[in-house]
Structures are given as structure tokens and as C-alpha cells.
Amino acid sequence: MSTQGKHVAATRQTVTIHTSRLFDSKQKIFSKNISIEVDTQTGLISKVYERSSDQLPDGDIDLRHLTVLPGFVDAHTHIFLHAYSETPAINQMRDESSVERIIRATNHCRTALLAGYTTYRDLGTEGLGDADVHLRNAVNRGLLPGPRLFVATEPLASSGGYEMRLESRAPGGTSVPRLSDSCDGPWGARAAVRRRVAAGADVVKFYADYRTKALRYPTESWPGAKPIEFPPPGAGLSSDRNPNFLLFSQEEMDAIVAEAKMVKAPVASHACTPEGVLMAAKAGVTTIEHGYETLEDDYAFRLMKKNGTIFVPTLSVLELFYPRKGGFDNILRQTRNAFNKGVKLACGGDTGPFPHGDNAREMELMSEAGVPMVSVLQAATLHGWEACGGSLCGRRFGCLDEGCAADIVALDGDPTNDIKALRKVHFVMKDGKVWKQNGVPVNMV
């Protein structure tokens, strides 16, 4: 007799989960009548088999009425940021105390886990130094519920490349936190990778390009500020008024990737311009983030496919800055083009500027771009593991095979027929521990 609706006894060495519709993230198919045996001590899947009977032993978990998938992976997050609609980025990074930001991050961890996200690849603390290392360790020690975290600490950028740009920076003016580990030249870039790895980073992130000339035509950033007269036109994240420029040479990018490979660290590159995307792909990065400026041809996508580079288009955050007609439609088309050219996609929303817990928005937008739902689900699971480093992660997740982490979510509904099902998360298990059952949080102490 099934105990669906009851909590799993913590003393059991193994527990078996029964499904009638299970997503195979490697084959992109749904398998029927599969049961999964979980070792609750190791947090690993110990057995996967096709069930021959519908008679379920007492104490098992019955998910036959739900759609079961591997735990979701958000491949681009910022756990210390909250929605920009609540507080602008500059005020979060400059004005909020470190205590407040860390408390918010603990809440974000809980919210993300209950939304079905068992793994986060967190790509920068945005002014909090190496705090993500210690948050990751706190989750791993069982001190707070949250996704498995793969962290970058501070991103790498060239001198002046990624920093707060304020007009009041004279001696005695406003002080601001450091946003990046700045470095210049191939050997300086190698040294910065070494610093990040020594600080505890799982993944190295660098900015291939960024908007470095914001103070050329500054916007009105305080009450009563006089506007610049006759600035160049444009809006959005990059425009004639504040365009993206390359931060590193090809030699510097190559050095970053080469040094990271020596210590078996995956590399993520923020790259928005066609030149930045192409140079990062040539360097052999693991993932390219954003890539929203229209590529003039498909060579970059062909190179990404050849090198196995994963594209994380971060559609959710770009939706905040670009109008639906014109700009954002072009971004959706570019995502569809990358998929059609055979580039691997991973789901990462740049979550933080929009709320943690709304992570499913990235899957919804990827589907809207024209990516088939089974490929979207693969991008949010298996390809998420690969974006985190794949075999470099030290633990397999993103699929439900023997020996993989028992990260399991169950949805009320079929997302291939009803996309709203992505937000109807009724069951969450991470590393063999149940955190949500029948839509109700459990073990949240």
C-alpha cells in the first residue's frame, strides 16, 4: 500500500519512488512505469527499473499521477540579488548591508529549492566578494535548505571593465564595493584565475565585453540630476549611448581558459557582442552567457557546436530591458537559430534581477523562442549539469540513472501539453531528501 501523502521516514536506508511518466533527459523521451530506488544515506539513485506490478510496498513514494523529471538546474543565477523592480542594482550593491544581502540569499535558496531547482550555477556575488563560497558550504553542511551551488566568487574583467560607474568618485566621495577581480595581459589573467580558484570558486567567469563608457553620457541617476543634452540615441542594455566594448584580447581569453583547464575548472564567459561571442568560443569556454546582439553570420554558432560550447541565452533578464516587438523578438530568433544550428542550450535566467522562484520563466521563454519542450527540459536538466562542468562537478545530476544524485521533481500536469505545469511543482527531492511533498514544504527547519 502506498504512503503517498505521508513523509518518508528518515531512518530508512532506501526508499523507492514509483512513476508512470518519467522524463529521460538523455533521450528526450518520457518513459512509462519506471521505479527509482534511492539510497537515502548516500543521496544517490541505486536502482532504476521497469515496474511489473502496480502493487506498491508500504513506505514507497507514489508519483504515478504526476510528471517526474530530474531536478531543475538554473545555469545562471545571482543568489545575492533580488528583483530590480524592488531595488535598483546599484542600491543593492552599494547601500544594502552584507547582513541583509546574506539573509535575503538564504531566503532565495529556500524559494528556489521549493520551485524545483536543485542546482544553481551562481555567477558572481555582485559586490560581496567570496561570500558565495561560504553560502555554498553552509548548504553543503546542511545548515540551510537550498540548491546545490556552483559558485564563481568574483568575475574577471580588465582594468575598469566591470565596476560601478559613479560621478562622485573624487577623494572623499562615495565608496563602492569591488565588483570584479581586474586583470590585464595573459599572465595577469592567469594570476586572476589562480586567485579565484584559491578563493574557492567552482567555475571561472570572465567578461568578454561590457559597457565601459557609461560616464561618457551618464543617465540621471539621482533625484534632481540634470540630463545630458543631445546624447546619442538608444535604450536597452547596449545602445549608441552606452555600447558594449571588448575587455580582453584573444590572447588574454585564451590564457584564462588554459589556466582554468589546468585546475579542471569550467569557464563561463559574459559575451554580448558578436566579436565577444566569437572570441570566447575560439578560446574554448564551457558556456557563453547572453549573446543578445545579433550575429552577422552563423560562424560563431558553428564554432560553438564544434567546440561543444553551451549557450545560456538568459532570456528572462533580457525581457526586462527590451521591448517585446523588435529587440526582444530578435533575441528569441537568435536563440532559435542557435538551437537549429545544433548548439547546446542550457537554461539560466540570470536569476536575481527577476525573482528567485520564478526561474521557470526561462523555460517558458525558450519554448516561446521555438525550442521544442523536450529540448527545453533537457536544457534545464542534463545540459545544466554540463554547464556546471559535467564530470568536473564531482557528482552526476541532471538525469535519473543509477549512480546519479537523487534530485527528483514532480509536476502536476504535462509541460509538453500545458506549459503552466512547469510552475506546478508538487514534489522535490534533492540528494535523496524530500523537501516538498503533495505541494507542501517539508523538512524546512
The pLDDT score that the predictor gives to residue 1 is 39
356, 411: one domain: no
C-alpha closest to that of 338 among 288, 270, 390? 288
pLDDT at 52: 83
> Could you tell me if residue 225 is inside a domain?
no
Number of domains the chain is built from: 2
Do 307 and 367 lie in a common domain?
yes
**H/E/C letters for each residue in the chain?**
CCCCCCCCCCCCCEEEEEECCEEECCCCEEECCEEEEEECCCCEEEEEEECCCCCCCCCCEEECCCEEEECEEEEEECCCCCCCCCCCHHHHHHHCCHHHHHHHHHHHHHHHHHCCEEEEEECCCCCCCCHHHHHHHHHHCCCCCCCEEEECCCCEECCCCCCCCCCCCCCCCCCCCCCCEECCHHHHHHHHHHHHHHHCCCCEEEECEECCCCCCCCCCCCCCCCCCCCCCCCCCCCCCCCCCEECCCHHHHHHHHHHHHHCCCCEEEEECCHHHHHHHHHHCCCEEEECCCCCCCCHHHHHHHHHCCEEECCHHHHCCCCCHHHHHHHHHHHHHHHHHCCCCECCCCCECCCCCCCCCHHHHHHHHCCCCHHHHHHHCCHHHHHHCCHHHHCCCCCCCCCCCECCEEEECCCCCCCHHHHHCEEEEEECCEEEEECCEECCCC
pLDDT tens per residue, the chain (445 residues)?
344 444 544 456 999 999 999 999 999 999 999 999 999 999 999 999 998 877 777 779 999 999 999 999 999 999 999 999 999 999 999 999 999 999 999 999 999 999 999 999 999 999 999 999 999 999 999 999 999 999 999 999 999 999 988 888 777 666 789 999 999 999 999 999 999 999 999 999 999 999 999 888 888 888 899 998 989 987 667 788 889 999 999 999 999 999 999 999 999 999 999 999 999 999 999 999 999 987 878 899 999 999 999 999 999 999 999 888 878 999 999 999 999 999 999 999 999 999 999 999 999 999 999 999 999 999 999 999 999 999 999 999 999 999 999 999 999 999 999 999 999 999 999 999 999 999 999 987 6
CATH of the domain at 51: 2.30.40.10
Q: Is residue 94 classed exposed, middle or buried when 0-12, 13-18 and 19+ CB atoms within 10 A define those classes?
A: middle
Q: Is 4 within the bounds of a domain?
A: no
Mark residue 126 as left, alpha or beta (left: phi above 0; alpha: psi -120 to 50; beta: remaining).
left
**Rounded-to-integer distance, Cα 124 and Cα 153, Å:** 5
162 and 257 assigned to the same domain: yes
**Residue 114 forms part of a structural domain:** yes
Shared-domain flag, residues 196 and 66:
no
Residue 26 lies in a domain: yes
In terms of domains, do 316 and 332 share one? yes
SS3 content of the chain, % helix, strand, coil (to 5): 30, 20, 50
* Claim to verify: residue 360 and residue 278 sit in the same structural domain: yes
Q: Are residues 63 and 97 in the same domain?
A: no
> 293 lies in a domain?
yes
Whether 373 is in a domain gets the answer: yes
Indicate whether 228 belongs to any domain.
Answer: no
Q: Are 194 and 63 contained in the same domain?
A: no
For residues 202 and 62, membership in a common domain is answered with no
* The domain boundary residue, chosen from 374, 391, 408: 391
On whether residue 264 sits in a domain, the answer given is: yes
348 and 284 in one domain?
yes
Domain that holds residue 191: 72-167+176-220+238-391
Q: Is 201 helix (H, G, I), strand (E, B) or coil?
A: coil
What distance in Å separates the CA atoms of residue 296 and residue 62, rounded to the nearest whole number? 51
Q: Are residues 292 and 411 in the same domain?
A: no
Are residues 369 and 302 located together in one domain of the fold?
Answer: yes
With residue 441 as reference, give the H or E element that holds it.
strand 440-441
Chosen domain end from 368, 391, 414: 391
CATH at 108:
3.20.20.140
